[in-house]
Structure 1
Amino acid sequence: MKKEDCFYLGKIVSKFSFKGEVLIKLDTDEPESYVKMESVFINYNKNLVPFFIEKSSLHKSDLLRVKFEDVDSEEDADDLMKAEIYLPLSLLPKLDGDKFYFHEVIGFKIVDTAFGEVGVIKHINDSTAQALFEIDRDGIEVLIPMNDEFIDRVDRKTNTVFVNTPEGLIDLYL
C-alpha cells in the first residue's frame, strides 16, 4: 500500500497498559466511526505496514484505545510510539453537497463570484490556523482561506469550487 492511496487517520501518542495497548489521537470529527476497524496501516520504518486490531474503544472522546495483534508488551508498544496511522482512501465515507475532503479538490478550478476564474487548486495548506486553498494562476500563487463563508458550492461534475471572497483579496496577489 502506498501513502498516496491512503488518508491520514491519526498518530499513536502513548502507551495505555503493560499489555501493549496504545492510544491513537484521531484526526477526525467522527471518532466513533473508527471504533470497529479490523486493521490499519502504520507508517513503520518509512513503510506502510498493516497491523490487525484485536480490540479497540474510544477513550476520552478523540483518543482510540487499541490492542494490536502481536503487540503484547510495553516494549512492543514503545516501538510504535509517534507512528502515523493510515487507512485506504476507499474507506472514506462519501461526502456530498458542499462538503469535501482536501485531497478531493486538488486540480479543481476556483471561480470567484466577482473576479471570475481564479485558477486551479494545487494544494491545501492546513499547517496554518486557517486552512488555505493554494491556487495556481498562470504561475502566480493565490491563497484563499477555506472559510465556510467564502465557499458557495462545490460542483463535482465540472470539478469547480465556487467562492465569494472579500473584495480585493485576489487582487492582492496579482
Structure 2
Amino acid sequence: MQKKDCFYLGKIVKKYSFKGELLIKLDTDEPDLYENLDALFIDLRNNLVPFFLESSQLHKSDLLRVKFEDVDTEADADALIKSDIYLPLEFLPKLEGNKFYFHEIIGFTVTDINYGVVGTIKAINDSTAQALFEIDRDGVEILIPMNDEFINNVDRANKTIVVETPEGLIDLYLDEN
C-alpha cells in the first residue's frame, strides 16, 4: 500500500494503558465513522505498515482508543507514538453535492460562469490561510480561492467544477503574459 492510495486519518498521540493501548487523534469531522476498524496503516520510517486491531472505541470527542494485535507492552506502544495513521481511499465516506475531497478533483476542468473554461486543476494549495485551486491554462498557472461562495457546482460525472469568481480575477493572471 502506498501513500498515494491512502488518506491521512490521524496521529498516535499517547499511551492509554499499561497493556499497549494507544490514543489516536483523528483528523476528521466524523470520528464515529472510524470506530470499528479492523486494520489501519501506520507510517513507520516512510513505509505504510498494516496493523490489525483487537479493539477500538471513541474516547472523548476526537480520540480513538485502540488496542493493536501484538502491541502488548508499554515499550511496544512507545515505539508507535507520534506515528501517522492512514487508511485506503475506499474507506473515505462518499461526499455529495458541492463537497469534495482535494484528491478527487485533480484533473477536473474549471469553468467560470462569466469567463468560460479556465483550465484544469493540477493541484490544491492548502498551505495558505485559504485553500486555492491551482489551475493550468495552457502553461499559465491561475489560482482561485476555494471559497464556497465561488463554487456553483461540482459535476463528478463530467469532471467539471463551475465557479463564479469576482470580475477580473482570472484576467489578472492572463494580463501578465
Normalised-by-shorter TM-score class:
over 0.9
Q: Which residue of 2 aligns with 1:170?
A: 170
| TM norm structure 1 | 0.94
Name the amino acid aligned to 1:54.
E
Alignment of 1:84-95 (within 5 A): 84-95=84-95
Give 1:40 shift.
0.2
Count matched residues: 174
Q: Which residue of 2 aligns with 1:16?
A: 16
Residue 116 (1) aligns with residue 82 (2): no
Residue 129 (1) aligns with residue 129 (2): yes
Question: How well do the aligned residues superpose, as a CA RMSD in angstroms?
Answer: 1.3
Unaligned runs of 5+ in 1: none
Report the secondary structure of 2:118's partner residue.
strand
Report the secondary structure of 1:121's partner residue.
strand
The list of structure 1 runs, each at least 4 consecutive aligned residues, that deviate by more than 4 angstroms after superposition, is none
Alignment of 1:132-151 (within 5 A): 132-151=132-151
Name the amino acid aligned to 2:82.
K
Q: Distance in 1 between matches of 2:169 and 2:80?
A: 44
Alignment of 1:45-60 (within 5 A): 45-60=45-60
Unaligned runs of 5+ in 2: none
Instruction: Give the share of equivalent positions with the same residue, in percent.
Output: 71
1:86-107 CA-to-partner distances (Å, cap 9, x unmatched) read 1111222222222211111000
| TM norm structure 2 | 0.92
